[in-house]
Chain A
């Protein structure tokens, strides 16, 4: 059974069960990847997956059921299961199947061709050679990976919405392991977009540099320091705490920004933007996971918190219009809320300028254990970190074995300078990613020696 036939079967069973308001959400993904160890292909993987979710509104409650198995029995089963689930719900949030009438942005689709398996293999083998060529301290365990992913998404509902989108991305990464004879150090670099544009030597060089730079690290004395957060680290922090901007979290009493719309929550140089159509994004979203149109908006403007991110249900509850941020974490998930390209706007100055301004302090380039050490409910974080000393306004010796701690909102308030080097998390290929320039913050608590 193909998707069209499955869809017809679902419509038939929905009608037979007198369901008037329903939606069918479909995703399909094809991924091919190759992994190199020493000088040989270690693994080659090719996966095809699909998932379908049916949801329907009965007595003001939305029931969900999903499947990966397109058969006539499953078509009937997801309709019946969704009905049963809807009857068990007690949510006080209003329920919606989106109506026709939105105007969607148009984006130019690049013609994307998927590289042949042999091209991926050749690329990864060459990349692996480049990593070993960078430094004689590179040891086995070092890996190069090349992959491509293409995905499709479609939303069809009983109000006549029938939308589809597709995206594809090629990516590669180099994981370099170096040894100084006693300890091992690792470094990573990733590139995504079109393989033809990837510079193997540059990627290998960055991965090895990332590892080698940390050799000989030491800890620092515990205390309060002036800190420059690298763009990558600041984007990671923003990502962990992005849920506080969700209207759903706020309405459920799970956001520390509850009732703070219109208040100053950050330093006046901070402007935070959510852009579904960001120019360099690998995937652009003209509609959200409920079929509502998307648009670009500032969430924080010169320090002032302007709006939560909404979907149809939270917007109705708050008496506003949806911001087009309805989101399903996977095809089977209930509709929640997520951002798109979500970034702190660049201001001015290079990373070196920030070091000069810091004078003496710590440049944080890595943080670990975000899922455990950063609590989105309280805003508190205490994270294992690494980076470099900043001495006399310049980047100096490597630092590791320290933790940084504080509260996310305090950081946002205490940002004293923002650089111009905006960078998005390179490990996120979809439309939902965070970005930031490097930032300078004073008085960060560091635990070390």
Chain B
């Protein structure tokens, strides 16, 4: 147990002394290790413990948050007092009874990464790195990272909840640079999971290195894409970043509750093409963005956000739920105890459709096939999004032709959702780190191949 129950109870009691109608103590003890390799040599190892306590109180829709890096009873109680001091009322809650709740673990871990020595991890990393380097003589540099995180959390609230969870994740990221005639292009591959070392039984390090190098080689031999508006087929897996940026952030209660999202007030309305069904599901076993409980202690759910184009649900945390008059959907997340938690995505993806991938490509007379996407960003207020295409190809007369570099897709979320007019059948998820107000958290994006009828492609 991270903190003794009687200390937690005392902190909740103190925090709620000035009229709060809800108080919450979140404690965290995280071990994380990041081994980085440059040119197949171990270059740096960062190895850290992140630990501390965050305390929140609500009065109506007002929230006060405080945090401390110390686990000492004095520091925790002082933090509770400081939080309470931000309100000036009198006690409303008369008793606090905590019930220990066990939610079980739907993401079993077989080999805890901390139980394995550096050498074993380094061998896996070297295998990936050398495979990438040996892929082609034009591969000029390879960097590779091995990350493992053991994130232990405890949440107790004045509603009586006392719960703990242990979230173990591992990820390998390889980046390969191809150089030719004074130009350089980068390819990357970075799979991860809420898993232990058994992750590498499924994901062969060689295939990770090979994929990064393959992409770099395709792009070093590619020309630049001519700019313009055109139909675009977006590949599966990380292609789902389009939904994450164009729509996902706008469905987070943190934007919706304040009226800062174009999707506010649109439940039950058609906001997307009828081909589109989109889901946020934190319960996928061992998924990178999966959680047993969220950072307010609510069990994670599978939430259908959009069904056949109709907006069905937002992603909601307790505080914004109060403003919206809705219950939490189990989406409250924070990077660490230092960040005030809010509604965030878990594993968010467009569900499989009825179109065949070959038909999607065949339907395009002239356009872009974005095989692999890079990151992107969105302004939820205006809905303006942008994202980069890491590996793209020109489509001519229904056939995938030469590779092109330098493409960026831009548009407005509400418009692109209507323009997704074909949805394929090869759903795949891919891993990312999503940055927002409550910090950087692991999330999956995903989709089968889709077609967007028209989108502005930046190029030259």
Contacts and interface: CB of A to CB of B under 8 A. Distances in A.
Contacts of A353: none
Contacts of B67: 46-49
Interface of A: 37, 40-51, 53, 63-70, 74, 77, 81-82, 84-85, 87-93, 117, 139-141, 143, 177, 183-186, 219, 222, 252-254, 256, 332-334, 368-369, 371-373, 375, 377-378, 380, 382-384, 400-406, 445-449
Interface stretch (B8-16, B34-42, B444-452): B34-42
B376 interface: yes
Given A66-B48, A447-B456, A42 B382 contact: no
B377 A368 contact: yes
A419 B182 CA distance: 32
A149 to B, nearest CB: 12
Contact of B45 (A64, A143, A406, A446): A64
Contact of A378 (B79, B185, B407): B185
A41 B62 contact: yes
A109 B41 CA distance: 44
B260 interface: yes
Interface in B387-421: 387-388, 405-408, 410-411
Nearest to B35: A88
Nearest to B186: A377
A185 B140 CA distance: 45
Nearest to B68: A48
Given A65-B48, A68-B50, A252-B39, A384 B458 contact: yes
B227 interface: yes
8 contacts: A64-B46, A69-B29, A85-B45, A143-B258, A177-B381, A371-B377, A384-B385, A384-B386
Nearest to B78: A48
Given A81-B47, A222-B228, A405-B458, A43 B65 contact: yes
A138 to B, nearest CB: 12
Given A371-B377, A405-B406, A184 B262 contact: yes
B62 A69 contact: no
Contacts of B47: 64-66, 81-82, 85
Contacts of B152: none
Given A47-B338, A85-B118, A383-B408, A405 B460 contact: yes
Interface string B241-280: 0000000000000000011101000000000000000000
B160 interface: no
A60 B107 CA distance: 41
A404 B405 CA distance: 14
B36 to A, nearest CB: 8
**Which of B46, B262, B405 lies at the interface centre, i.e. has the most chain A CB atoms within 10 A of its CB?**
B46
**Which of A44, A53, A373 lies at the interface centre, i.e. has the most chain B CB atoms within 10 A of its CB?**
A373
B451 to A, nearest CB: 20
A392 B262 CA distance: 36
Contact of A254 (B177, B376, B407, B457): B177
B206 interface: no
A238 B70 CA distance: 38
A372 B227 contact: no
A44 B64 contact: yes
Nearest to A43: B63
Contact of B408 (A68, A69, A184, A373): A373
B186 A375 contact: yes
Given A49-B69, A65-B48, A66-B49, A42 B61 contact: yes
Given A65-B48, A252-B38, A382-B458, A177 B83 contact: no
Nearest to A93: B43
B183 interface: yes
Given A68-B51, A90-B43, 15 more contacts: A42-B63, A44-B86, A66-B46, A69-B29, A77-B49, A85-B47, A88-B35, A89-B42, A143-B258, A184-B382, A377-B177, A378-B186, A382-B408, A403-B410, A405-B408
Contacts of A85: 45, 47, 118
A252 B143 contact: yes
Contact of A91 (B44, B66, B460): B44
B166 interface: no
A93 B410 CA distance: 42
Contacts of B426: none
A44 to B, nearest CB: 5
A124 to B, nearest CB: 13
Interface of B: 29, 35, 38-39, 41-52, 54, 61-71, 79, 82-83, 86, 118-119, 122, 140-141, 143, 177, 183-186, 227-229, 258-260, 262, 338, 340, 374-377, 379, 381-382, 384-388, 405-408, 410-411, 456-460
A418 B23 CA distance: 55
Nearest to B229: A449
Nearest to B227: A447
Given A42-B61, A47-B338, A368 B379 contact: yes
B62 A45 contact: no
B382 A185 contact: yes
A254 B141 contact: yes
A384 B65 contact: no
Given A141-B259, A369-B387, A405 B48 contact: no
Nearest to B55: A46
Contacts of A371: 375, 377
A252 B456 contact: no
A48 B69 contact: yes
Contact of B388 (A48, A67, A90, A369): A369
A315 B386 CA distance: 39
B60 to A, nearest CB: 9
Nearest to A87: B118
Which 7 residue pairs spanning A and B have beta carbons closest together?
A: A403-B458, A447-B227, A384-B386, A372-B375, A445-B460, A382-B408, A369-B386
A88 B39 CA distance: 15
Contacts of B79: 48
B86 A37 contact: no
A420 B61 CA distance: 47
B386 A373 contact: yes
A42 to B, nearest CB: 7
Contact of A403 (B38, B82, B227, B259): B227
Contacts of B379: 186, 368
Contacts of A53: 48
Contacts of B410: 384, 401-403
Contact of B44 (A89, A141, A383, A445): A89
A128 to B, nearest CB: 13
B63 A382 contact: no
Nearest to B374: A372
Given A68-B51, A382-B388, A447-B456, A140 B259 contact: yes
B52 A68 contact: yes
B66 A90 contact: no
Contacts of B43: 89-91, 93
Nearest to B86: A44
Contacts of B64: 43-45
Given A43-B63, A334-B44, A68 B459 contact: no
**Which of B29, B228, B259, B458 lies at the interface centre, i.e. has the most chain A CB atoms within 10 A of its CB?**
B458
Contact of A67 (B46, B48, B376): B48
A365 to B, nearest CB: 14
A355 to B, nearest CB: 24
